[in-house]
Chains A and B, each alone.
Chain A
Amino acid sequence: MADLINVIRDWLYNLMISWGASQDLAGFVLQVLGSILVVILCFVIVIALIWVERKLAGRIQDRFGPNRAGPFGIFQSFADIIKIFTKEYVTPTGADKSLFNIAPVLAMASVLAIWAVFPFAINVIGADVNVGVLYIVAIGSFGILAILMAGWSSNNRYALLGASRSVAMLISYEIPMVISLLIPVLLTKSMQLSAIIEAQRPWWFLIVAPTAALFFLISSMAEIGKAPFDLLEAESELVAGYHTEYSGMKFGMFYVAEFLHQYTVGALITIFFLGGWSGPMAASWPILGVVYFFTKTFLVYLVISWIRLSLPRIRIDEMLDLNWKFMIPVSFLNLVVVAVADRILMDLNLARWIYVGVMFALSMGVLLISLAIAGNSKPKVERVQFPTRPVAVSPQSDQSKS
C-alpha cells in the first residue's frame, strides 16, 4: 500500500515477462503506458480544474458559479466538452491551413511535455534527466512559437496584432523567470529535479530565497497570461487575441492548454520552492508523496486564481516597464546577493538555522530596498496644465473680440 505505484509497475513487468516478452520490450511498453497514464491524468485534472475555476470565480464575484448541470454544477465541464465536440471547424479564407491546424496541437503538446520530468514521489519520476530545469524552460518556449503560428495563420489583422503583443510580453517575462530559476539551481548545485527536492528537506526554498519565489510566481503568471497580465484575453481590445478565428475543439485545445499551464506552473512552484513531494513520512510512504505533491500544486493553483480574480488588468507599457525596469535588475541583484552569500556562508560552516535566517534576511532586504527605490522614482508622465478658462462666455465680451 505504501509503494503502490511501484508495486503495480513491478507486477505489470513480471506479467509481461511471463508472457514471453524480452526485458527491453517490457520496459518499453511500461514507459508507453506510463506516459499515456500521465497524459490522461492531465486531461482529467483539467476537467476538474475548469469546474473549480468557474465556481471560485463565481463566489469571489458574489454570484453562484454553474449550479444547474448536476449537484453544485459538477457536470458542467462534461457538458462543455460534449458541446465543443460537436461544433463546426470554420477555417477563415486565406488562412495557412497547415500552420492553422498545427498551432493548437503544438500549444497543448508543449504544456503536456513538461510533465515528463516531474517527480511525483521519492521513486516515481518519469525522466530524471540531469538538465531538468532547462528542459522545462525549453519546452515551454514551444508554446510561444505556437502562439505566433496561430496569430499569423489566421489571416486576421487583429489576431496577428494580438499574437505579436502577447509574444513580446511572453519573451520579456521569460528572463526574470529563468533568472529566478537559477537560484534554486544555485542552492542545490544541480539541475536535476529530484536533487532540488532533496536539497529542500530541512528547509523549503520558499524560506531560504523568498524573493526568487515571488519573482518566479509573478513572471510565471505573466507567462500563462493570467491577470493582471491577461492582455491576451482582453476582449474589449482585441476580440480574443490570437485565437479569434479558432472554433470547436481547436479552440478547446487552447483553452485546455491554458488551464493545464496554470496547474503546471503550480507544480513548478511546488517543486522549486515548496519542497515538491516532501512532507511528513513521505520518504517511506511514496503514495503520501504523490498526495502531498498534488495538494501543494492545487493550493498554488488556488492562489494564482485568487490573484487573477482580484486584480484588474495593467496596460502593456506599464507591464513591460515593470519587467525591464524593475524585475530584471532586481532579479539579477538577488542572484548576485544569493550567490555571494551562499558561498561565504558555506565556507563559514554555520548551523543550518543561522544560514537560513541570514539568507531570508538578505532576500527580504533586497526586495524591500528595491521596492523603496522604485517607489521613490518619479513618474514619467507629466500632467499637462491647461489654462483655466470660463465655460460660458457672455455675448458682449465675445462680440468685442471678433
Chain B
Amino acid sequence: MLSYWLYIGIFLAVAVAFPIIAVSLPAIISPRKPSRRKQEVYECGIETEGDIRVQFKSQYYIYSLIFLVFDIETVFLFPWAVSLGKLPLFAVVEGVIFIAILFAGLIYAMQKGALAWS
C-alpha cells in the first residue's frame, strides 16, 4: 500500500518539476529589458496612489470560518459513509443527527443574514 504513496510522491515531484522547467525556459530565451514604466503596477492606465490595502470586509472572514466548520464536518462524515454497509439502521440515524445539528447552525447563520454578500 505504501508503494502507491511512493508513486504519488514521485508524481508530485514530477508535477512540480515540469512547470518549473516550463517557466524557467523562457527566461533564457525571452528579452529582459526592465524599465520603470513597464514595472509599474497596473491600474487601468493611471498612476497608483495610496496603499494597496483592500477594504476590510468581515464577510471574507465569515465565509472562511463557516467553510472550516463544514470541512471538519465532512471529515467526520467520510468514515461514516464508508462504513454504512456493515452497520444497522440506527447508525444512519446517528449520522443524520450529526448533519441535522450542523444544519441548524446553517439555518441560524442564514436567518442572521451572515451569509449574504453585502
Interface residues of A (CB under 8 A from B): 27-28, 31-32, 34-36, 38-39, 43, 84-94, 101, 104-105, 108-109, 112-113, 115-117, 126-130, 133-135, 154-158, 160-161, 164, 168, 171-172, 174-175, 178-179, 182, 185-186, 189-191, 239, 244-245, 248-250, 252-253, 316-317, 320-321, 324-325, 328-329, 332, 335-336, 339-340, 342-344, 346-347
Contacts and interface: CB of A to CB of B under 8 A. Distances in A.
Nearest to A94: B41
Given A89-B30, A248-B30, A249-B23, A329 B84 contact: no
A156 B42 contact: yes
B30 A86 contact: yes
B77 to A, nearest CB: 6
A313 to B, nearest CB: 15
Contacts of A171: 63-64, 67
A249 B25 contact: yes
4 closest cross-chain pairs (CB), A and B: A112-B15, A127-B4, A317-B117, A116-B11
Contacts of A244: 42
Interface in B1-55: 1, 3-8, 10-12, 14-16, 18-20, 22-23, 25-27, 29-34, 36, 38-44, 48, 52-54
5 contacts: A27-B3, A108-B22, A155-B41, A317-B118, A347-B89
Interface in B58-113: 59-60, 63-64, 67, 70-71, 74, 77-78, 81-85, 89, 92, 95-96, 99, 103, 106, 109-110
B8 to A, nearest CB: 5
Q: Is the interface of B mostly helix, strand, loop or mixed?
A: helix
B43 A249 contact: no
B85 A105 contact: no
B108 to A, nearest CB: 12
Contacts of A245: 41-42
B92 A339 contact: yes
Interface size range on B against A: 35 or more
B59 to A, nearest CB: 7
A27 B41 CA distance: 50
A186 B81 contact: yes
A89 B89 CA distance: 61
Q: Is the interface of A mostly helix, strand, loop or mixed?
A: helix
Contact of B54 (A157, A328, A342): A157
Contacts of B39: 90-93
A339 B81 contact: yes
A319 to B, nearest CB: 8
Given A105-B16, A109-B15, A321-B116, A168 B41 contact: no
Contact of A339 (B36, B42, B48, B84): B84
A253 B19 contact: yes
Contacts of B38: 90
Contact of A340 (B19, B27, B92): B92
A172 B63 contact: yes
B85 to A, nearest CB: 4
Contacts of A84: 26
Contacts of A129: 1, 4-5, 8
A239 B84 contact: no
Nearest to B107: A329
